[in-house]
Amino acid sequence: MDEVESGKQKASLKIMFLYRLKILILRILGYEKPLRVALFKYLFIKFRQFRPHYETILLESAVQAKKLGYENVTVLELGVAGGNGIITLEKYKKNIEKLTKVKIKIVGFDSGEGLTKIDSKFDLPFYWREGQFKTDKKKLESHIDSKIIYGDVKNTIDEFIKTNPENIVAIFFDLDLYSSTKNFLNQLSKLDKYLAPRVYCYFDDVHLPENWINEHNGELLAIKEFNSKSENIKIGQALDNINDFKFPLGKNHLFVLHNFNHKDYNKFIGIDDENSLHIGDTRVRTKIF
Ligand SMILES: C[S@@+](CC[C@H](N)C(=O)[O-])C[C@H]1O[C@@H](n2cnc3c(N)ncnc32)[C@H](O)[C@@H]1O
- Using the mean position of ligand 1's atoms as its centre, give its distance from the Cα of residue 202 in Å: 14
42-259: which CATH topology? Answer: Rossmann fold (3.40.50)
Q: Which amino acid is at 3?
A: E
DSSP state of 239: P
Neighbouring residues of 260: CB distance < 8 A, sequence distance ≥ 6? 232, 233, 234
Q: Is 86 in the pocket of ligand 1 (CB under 6 A)?
A: no
Ligand 1 atom index nearest CA of 180:
19
pLDDT tens digit sequence for 55-89: 999 999 999 999 999 999 999 999 999 999 999 99
* pLDDT at residue 100 greater than cutoff 80: yes
pLDDT band of residue 185 (cuts 50, 70, 90) is very high
- Using the mean position of ligand 1's atoms as its centre, give its distance from the Cα of residue 36 in Å: 29
* pLDDT at residue 276 greater than cutoff 80: no
Q: What is the pLDDT of residue 234?
A: 98
In angstroms, rounded to a whole number, what is the distance separating the alpha carbons of residues 174 and 180?
10
- Using the mean position of ligand 1's atoms as its centre, give its distance from the Cα of residue 239 in Å: 28
DSSP state of 121: G
Q: Is 175 in the pocket of ligand 1 (CB under 6 A)?
A: yes
Section 270-285 average pLDDT: 80
Task: List, in sequence order, the alpha helices (H) in 83-187.
Answer: 84-100, 137-141, 157-161, 178-185
Strands of the sheet containing 254-259, edge to edge, are 147-150, 103-110, 72-78, 168-173, 195-203, 254-259, 233-236
pLDDT tens digit sequence for 223-245: 999 999 999 999 999 999 998 99
Helix (H) or strand (E) holding 65: helix 52-68
Evaluate if pTM is beyond 0.85: yes
